[in-house]
Structure 1
Amino acid sequence: MTISTAAGSLTDMAMEVYSFTGTACAPTLTPVGCAIGNGASLMPRILVAGVGTNGNVYLVRIWSQVSVFGTFSICAYENFPPPNNEPCGAIALPVSTGCVFPPPFTTENATQTLVPGLPGCVGAAPVDDVWFTAVVPASGQLQIDTDNGVLTDATIAVYTGTCGSLTLVAGKLPISRKW
């Protein structure tokens, strides 16, 4: 779920999200996310992912970062992962003699895929990965190239096999160069 805010008369806010257990009079609150003015007009937005199950209750604390009173809007909405969130949903990339970038892809709302073989270029497992396929042409040469968008500090890893049985071939950080 994502909790997002929009400016009213207040334009510089912060918020923290807590999981809630117990009763209203004796709650147990556990922080699950905090954001300080990182959205439009310095308004906070928090992605609450992988911290609960259907029906969990969350409390949202929101405050102005300046000492004024005013109005704002807040909403919560369900996140849907991209279609290539898992290896079996990988998007096929066209292989040609030159690089023509397709429309941009996204990692927004993507989740972690646990696969054997961590790319050597990273210190921890990816937390919001997406998947693509490419078929090596008859020449045996395949160049993978990316173009910077909003995501400018990412890692790429190449695997062989089927979506249920992957073997790491190589990894690279950052992906903003030809590979």
Structure 2
Amino acid sequence: MGAPSPPLVHAVDLRVSKRLLWVGPAAYPLENIARVFTFVLRPRRKEAITLFCKRVALTLALAVGMTVLILLVDAVASIGRGESSGGPFIFLVWLGTVGGFVYYLLELTQVLSARSHFVLAVETSGPSTAMVTSRDPGELIQLVGRIAHAIDHPEAEFTVRVEGINASPQIYHFGDNVNMYGGSGNVGIANS
């Protein structure tokens, strides 16, 4: 077994000092910050249920197909011998199928039991994003204003204790949903 995963929420200092925004040990130059905003980080429940159903259907179809194939091969082979030998193979197919179902169910339970978090996100002009959360959404909304003020005022400095969040993209939705029309090479899902 691997090392245990870090806790989802943990205490962290958010600090502005000398034109840097520190989120725990990570530093972000204030001039590289493209956007500071709050949003509700929600688990991907709909996608998890859809993925679970697809996996179960595909695994079940594969298990039934393998069972039929084993029975046909066994029936052809037993004509000459008069005995059947496919039972252990069928048992292994269905044992693997049940194991797969248990794994799929554990993954589904992980997403369905995850709770939503109100978070403050800091996006840079590059690909990095920092997120923190708090039990008090008002505190995060005030922090957006304080960080925006610090971007415009080089002398601004402050330190606040918040909660850092380690959220997996397999469990949570990140960022905005954008409907894009036209262009080329765009990949996305249109919801109506």
TM-score scaled to structure 2, two decimals?
0.19
The structure number with the bigger radius of gyration is 2
Instruction: Report which of the two has the higher share of helix.
Output: 2
Q: Larger RCO: Structure 1 or Structure 2 (Cα < 8 Å, ≥ 6 residues apart)? A: 2
Instruction: Report which of the two has the higher share of strand.
Output: 1
